[in-house]
Structure 1
Amino acid sequence: MVQITQRPLLTDPGALPVHPVLARVYGARGISRPEQLELTLKRLLPWQSLKGITEAVELLLPVVLQGKKLLVVGDFDVDGASSTALAIRALRMLGAQQLDYLVPNRFDFGYGLSPELVQVALTLKPDLIMTVDNGIASHEGIAAAQAAGVPVLVTDHHLAAATLPDAAAIVNPNQPGCEFPSKAACGCTVVFYLMLALRARLSELNKLPDPQPNLAQLLDLVALATVADVVPLDDNNRILVEQGLRRIRAGHSSAGIMALIQVAGRQAVRLVAADFGFALGPRLNAAGRLDDMSLGIECLLTDDPGRAQQLAQTLDEMNRDRRDIEQGMQAEALRYLQQFDAGNNLPTGLVLFQRDWHQGVIGILASRIKEKTHRPVIALAADDQGWLKGSARSIAGLHLRDALDEVHKQAPHLMKKFGGHAMAAGLTLAADGLDEFSRLFDQVCRRHLTEAQLQQRLETDGALNAADFSFELAQQLRWGGPWGQAFPEPLFSGRFRLVQQRIVGEKHLKLVLQPEGSDLVLDAIWFGIDTSQWPDPSVQWVEAAFQLDINEFRGQKTLQLMLREVVKIS
């Protein structure tokens, strides 16, 4: 059972000039000063503290000033696609002519600048290779490129291993010795900062094109990548996301992003950060999961609205296919887990594998099963070379990359490679080592996670008074973001009398709730319920965790509670 608890205040929000409930929300997220709510570009961190950025700019100057050819090597997720598109768009704005990109197909090459991908890159005859959203772990590929006489500029944000690759320059806020304060920058943000530094250097040399380019035009890409890559929304990232959203709402976005908004059924003028994660991001990711991310990159690069619409429509269709595949895989995973008694003998670290699972969808599967079981999960699929490719997701208390490193030190023969972050990681595993790996991973998880950490808790921002159930507060909460990772959307809790309950669609529960101690009645909706548990006519009182929302239907606006969890009381 999920425990609903109240999120503690981290700071005193008393001086914030906002609704008292919103002030409480901000205080629980570490906001205490009014200037932290000023999400303007003048408060953006300067680029000068990024280690390696001066050397990187010097590598790029010949691309802009001498017509040298640059090959951008990206990644097959939203951050990689956005980083690639931003690099090419920005360099074009700054005057570069010889630009090309290459993104590895995950099924043929896997992640990063591998030696095999370098051989493909060399056929394009680049003078310089620049990695975006990858490269910090590509020791062999970088060595192969530089041995062939092609220098490599690495831009990345992932954690470094014990040694760095021998690249011509590295820009990564998470590399040793980098003093850039925001370690939560995504790959696209790193590229954006590099382009700002390059623009400043060209300005010093009096080599900027006329009219001088405004790189803030590209913040829609930075905002999309930041939210879709699920990096923490620290102060700097919140500024980047908010500024990107403002451009989109004002109609100043790229043709591709506008087309994705349209096929997703959203309105640009009402776009919020969550739409990047739940609507736009999955459609772009579908290309990299099922086919080739070049389709997504082309959507972000085109300036032709008609072409953008065609590409966005194709991405939308691919996303529908991805959802069908995912649902089938999830059903198989849940059937496998039924053999365990969920309360006692479910492994602490779950390793799931089916030979016919789709390699491009295992990351989503791992996330879904982690949400259902509140345990670290690794989902695996077989590749054509006899290896198992894995995608891992964690919970608070277990640093995934470190956990995989522990397994590797105990059994170095099992994993060909691995890498990632605290909450997400990837690996390549020997097929005959699955049982041994599963056992070792579970042991590592058991050592690091307590029973209390395995108890799923849902933190909320406390209860609302009857007067707080208002359109005014709902609007302020909507626009009080951007909300996202480590800066979660406001969530409240309370006891309610259950007045009505009925199924709508296939598995959504429509309710009418009455707050305890009030005559107020409120509409509520709970998506994706367990139909074996609901509706339940015997239940009269519930504890619910909810978001305060405004439902618009046929021109009518009504206050609505978006339920995240409901616990039966009586």
Structure 2
Amino acid sequence: MTPIHIRRRASDDACRHAASPSELLKAIYANRGLTDSDQPAPGLAELEPVSQLRGLNAAVALLAESIRSGGHILVVGDYDADGATGSAVAVRGLKALGAAKVSFLVPSRFHNGYGLSPAVVDAAAALVPDLIMTVDNGISSLSAVERAGALGIPVLVTDHHLPGERIPAAAAIVNPNQDGCGFPSKHLAGVGVVFYLLVALRIHLRETGWLGGGRREPNLAELLDLVALGTVADVVTLDRNNRILVEQGLRRIRAGRCCAGVTALLEVAGRDPSRVTATDLGFFVAPRLNAAGRLEEMSLGVDCLLTDDPARAAEIAQHLHELNKRRREIEDDMKDEAELLLETLSLDGATLPPALCLFGEDWHQGVSGIVAARIRERYHRPVIAFADGGDGRLRGSARSIEGLHMRDAIDRVNRTCPGLVERFGGHAMAAGLTLRSECLDPFREAFVEAVRAQLGDVPPQPEILSDGALSPGLMSLETAELLRLAGPWGKGFPEPRFDGSFEVLSARLVGERHLKLRVAPEPGMQIDAIGFNLGEHLANARGRVRLAYRLDVNEYRGVRAPQLLLDHLQVLT
């Protein structure tokens, strides 16, 4: 494994000297740039104004015309959790605003690949839509939009991915990351873009008389549970705007005012809806929802989020739960194979190339992204995991590290070696691409050189940023409960992490790969600790160790107690 450096924030003393949980939380907020007068997640009234989104007027006009004329609006989403929640928000919201006919179509990961393609447009045309509305995709679908135009179907693109040099000739585009868009929160997830569009559409329909009188104006806040789930699942930066969306969605879930599908997914994952956090959404609900798109079709996940029948939602959620268990088994096998491939290169991180492109002949393309993430975490390299698409093409899922913009790196390969990459798109930290099988080796060489040009031969040492030492007196259930609900925590607004020296009292493996410890922060005090996927540290878990950890609540047989969630273990000599 690549060595990890634990670095404390410059103001770590404030956490170490905090005398109470509330003082500790104040110091943690200060570490994240919040002042005493700031709220970590203000109310909905403080969201960025919807009017700043470019393309909004044209998009609203298209939807309003379809609603007034009784036209058929077809929502085409992505096959991940952001796309699924965005599709559900679009369908629910448009129907609530009076649309007579709204349906959805999710492209197959296995047959269509990512996003709106000409083949997907042809499939959509068979459903006879009057308007195609993309969700979480479309900004790179030049040929697909052209195909739709040839068929006489206007396309409204809603997306948040970075555009390329050209954008499609769509009837309207709403994307905070398109050129000329002044919307300040560039980190909206796809579901967030849809929510904002619906808010603008409601304003227009109210002002033009469609809503009111005998037609009830819907409360779009009822969709915030789905907005929160999709935002967290897509691991976008939780800037102030996204924290508002997520926190308001979490409050609805805790109050029991969420859709049947979200409740069912939480329950099948063993999470209490009344105590749900962003972490629960990201690590327990999202993987089960994503399992539909990874192993079968995401339409199943969208159905789970659209049904209002609790029994039907529970039935689908149970199926998704079983799919997720299968996904984990496939992932473990693929990860083992990837480790064997890496042995042919080297197990010494210093001699590995600066980027890794891995291919397994029988790898499952729905799980390759997770495997890329696992290998990235272990070796601290940008990773692309390729699987056979079955049509003479390889489909790759890419995961990056801090300091390398993955989509831009692939774009550099595309520009310097035209013809290698057929399709690509994504973000700074994750991307997807398609190339012909015979192009794998030249692509690997070009990609490694593109990464080397930016990061050098060896990427910078990974680090864990710590809020500092936590006094043993604050390793309490009260502190753990307060921190758990004090977020929402996530990318860009990280969950509090601490580090310190502990005496290991006992150590064992649970579930074959998880490290379970009993440690003493000081003589006479003991606390449990668990490190998921840290089982390889078992041999070093003895004597005095330095732990990087988060303080959490463990509930077992109705008893709640504080525990440490380990991020890293270092031997102290």
TM over 0.5, shorter chain? yes
Matches within 5 A, 1:39-438: 39-208=42-211, 210-339=215-344, 340-438=346-444
Where 1:192 maps in the other structure, the secondary structure is: helix
Aligned mates of 2:105, 2:511 — CA distance in 1: 43
Change in Cα spacing, 1:482 to 1:260, as seen in structure 2 (3 Å) is: same
Letter in 2 for 1:374: H
User: Which gives a bigger RCO, structure 1 or 2 (Cα 8 Å, sep 6+)?
Assistant: 2
3-state SS, counterpart of residue 478 of structure 2: helix
Question: How much has 1:309 moved relative to structure 2?
Answer: 0.9
Query: 2 CA distance for matches of 1:119 and 1:525?
Result: 51
Q: Which residue of the partner structure matches residue 529 of structure 2?
A: 524
Distance 2:558 2:293 in 1: 38
> Counterpart amino acid of 2:470?
L
Conservation of the 8 A alpha-carbon contact between 2:512 and 2:535: no
**Counterpart Cα distance in 1 of 2:119 and 2:109:** 12
User: What corresponds to 1:534 in structure 2?
Assistant: 538
Unaligned regions of 5+ residues in structure 2, if any? none
**Residue in structure 2 matched with residue 547 of structure 1 by the alignment:** 550
Q: Give 1:88 deviation, angstroms.
A: 0.7
What is the CA deviation profile of residues 171-226 of structure 1, one whole-angstrom value per residue up to 9, with x for unaligned ones? 00000000011000001110001100110011112211643210000000100000
- Give the distance between the partners of 1:288 and 1:504, measured in 2 at CA: 29
Percent identity for Structure 1 against Structure 2: 51
Give the 3 Å change call, closer, same or farther, for CA 88–61 of structure 1 in structure 2. same
The separation in 2 between residues aligned to 1:226 and 1:301, in whole angstroms, is 18
SS in 2 for 1:117: helix
Using the size of structure 1 for normalisation, the TM-score is 0.95
Bigger mean CA offset, 489-498 vs 31-40: 31-40
Where does residue 4 of structure 1 map in the other structure? 6
Find the residue that maps to 1:432 and give its secondary structure.
helix
Q: Which amino acid aligns with 1:358?
A: H
Q: Distance in 1 between matches of 2:275 and 2:342?
A: 40
- Structure 1 residue runs of 5 or longer lacking an equivalent are none
2:71 aligned partner, one-letter code: K
Are the aligned partners of 1:94 and 1:213 in contact in 2 as well (CA < 8 Å)? yes
Given that 1:76 and 1:104 are in contact with CA atoms closer than 8 Å, whether structure 2 keeps it comes out as yes
Instruction: Please give the secondary structure, in 2, of the residue aligned with 1:344.
Output: helix
Distance in 1 of aligned mates of 2:116 and 2:417: 26
Q: After TM superposition, which residue ranges in structure 1, 4 or more long, deviate above 4 angstroms? A: 450-453
Q: Is the 8 A contact 1:47 1:196 kept in 2?
A: yes
* Separation (CA, whole Å) in 2 of partners of 1:101 and 1:356: 31
Q: Distance in 1 between matches of 2:41 and 2:420?
A: 49
Q: Specify whether residues 72 and 9 from structure 1 end up closer, same or farther in structure 2 by C-alpha distance, changes over 3 A only.
A: farther
From 449, 469, 476, the equivalent of 1:470 is 476
The one-letter amino acid paired with 2:319 is T
From the superposition, tell whether residues 270 and 81 of structure 1 become closer, same or farther in structure 2 (CA, over 3 Å): same
2:291 touches 2:323 (CA, 8 Å); kept in 1? Answer: yes
Q: Is the 8 A contact 1:378 1:392 kept in 2?
A: yes
1:445 aligns with 2:451: yes
The answer as to 2:521 corresponding to 1:512 is: no
Pick closer, same or farther for the CA change 1:460–1:73 going to 2, 3 Å.
same
CA distance in 1, matches of 2:189, 2:249: 14
Query: Using the alignment, how far apart are the partners of 1:313 and 1:351 within structure 2?
Result: 35
User: Which residue of the partner structure matches residue 24 of structure 1?
Assistant: 27
Aligned length: 564
Q: State whether residues 546 and 561 of structure 1, in contact with CA within 8 Å, keep that contact through their aligned partners in structure 2.
A: yes
